[in-house]
Structure 1
Amino acid sequence: MNLTKFMQEYNILKKTPRTGWLSCAVPLAEVKSVAEHILDTTTIAMLLIETFKENGYSVNSSRVLKLALIHDWAEMRILDIPYTSKKYFTNKLGIEESALRDILGESGFCEDITEEYIGLCKSKGHGLEGKIVGVADLLSMFFEHIELRKRGFRSRELDDHYKNCKDDIKKYCRGYEFLNDILADIDAEIQSYE
Structure 2
Amino acid sequence: MPNAAPRTHRLRRVDARSSVERITAAGRNVLGAGEGSLEQIAAEAGVGIATLYRHFPNREAIVRAVLDDILETDLLPLINDATASRHPRQTLLDIATRLLDLITEERGLVTFAANFADVAVDALQRLSESLRPLLEHAQEQGEIRTDLTADDIPHFLVMGIAGLALPGTAPSMRARFMALLFDSLNPAGASPLPPARTETEDDDLRAAISSVVRD
The reply to whether TM is greater than 0.5 is: no
Q: Which has the higher contact order (CA 8 A, sep 6+)?
A: 1
Asked which structure has the greater CA Rg, the reply is: 2
Normalised by the size of structure 1, how large is the TM-score? Answer: 0.29
